Structure 1
Amino acid sequence: MLFLLSGPSGVGKGTVRKALFKKNPHELLYSISATTRKPRRGEVDGRDYFFLNKEQFEKMINDGQMLEYAQYVNSYYGTPKTWIDEQRDQGNDVFMEIEVNGAMQVRAKVPDAILIFLLPPDLMQLRNRLELRGTESDEVINQRLKTAREEILMMTNYDYAVVNDKVDKAVKKVQTIIDAERLKANRLANSYIKILEG
């Protein structure tokens, strides 16, 4: 299965994902993104990102090999479709953490993906989280909050919504979603049909 966690900037997607993987390190594979930006110190190709040049990335876009992609500050970021397909074909469950626009691209290409929307308890707490980062001006924070309002309205395109009021509670809810999806009768039926036919 393909699980996807997304939500507004500053909602804590990365924090929740890291806590989930720390709790269950071998249960899911984390989707590795591709980028055209240069590696930062300590980053390893194929572990942190697939580092590509602009021509390679654009060829993958044109060949339909990007599940989703976006361009930020003159660099491309995206998810190679081949890697996801290979993992799913091998029976592995893959977990993605991406922005809302990317999630909508995935929804269009992989209708059976399970989309989880991570919400802030309220917009004031989201503002506080963005301010605590200390990396952006008030103008940028205001723009991010405006975008967050628009993205929250898109929540109805998702399968589940989880409020990130406390990280451990949010992780527990995400884990519950994963467990429930794995127990759906139609998923189990496919493997049993193969056994019965064999």
Structure 2
Amino acid sequence: MSLALLDEADDDIISIDSIHYDFEKIRAATNDFSDDNKLGQGGFGAVYWGTLENGQEIGVKRLSVNSSQGDAEFKNEVLLLVKLQHKNLVRLLGFASKGRERLLVYEFARNGSLDNFIFDPIKASSLDWDKRYTIIRGIARGLLYLHEDSMLRIIHRDLKASNVLLDENMNPKISDFGMARLLELDQTQDTTSRIVGT
């Protein structure tokens, strides 16, 4: 996968064909960002389910055009996720932009977020101890990768059940890196303040 590059002169994402999606194709995949396709709403925008022309299911984060933090979060998440590859991190497939519209295109996690299972008594009863252990272990492995094993040392800063997605096999995938921080090698999480990509 090619990296997306940040043009420091004008703060725009330089499109790399391997991860750049046509905005109109993503709009069509989500039925024009239909409420029927809406999976959730966060502080920086909404997340939609979609299906590409080839039948592949995707998750699309549509950042709010009114949020002053939207552009910074978009760049932060793209720059982080194209560099981070682990089975317990949500996989960024690409991005799309048009004017002030910014989209992040992810692999689709069929079982939604962990909070849907924790806070729903019926769904919670489906999580036996083996599944719970697998989920906890996967989250821990994802965090270990971020903190110790990746080329970058990353502190997520917003890890919660709603930011842990579950695939069709109930494997956890840490998502939403918009608030993440990059640590210098000699830095601790108590002293970090720099956002990756800015």
TM over 0.5: no
TM-score, length basis structure 1 = 0.29
Bigger relative CO (Cα 8 Å, ≥ 6 apart):
1
TM-score, length basis structure 2 = 0.29
Higher-Rg structure is 1
Whichever structure has more helix as a proportion of its residues is 1
Whichever structure has more strand as a proportion of its residues is 2
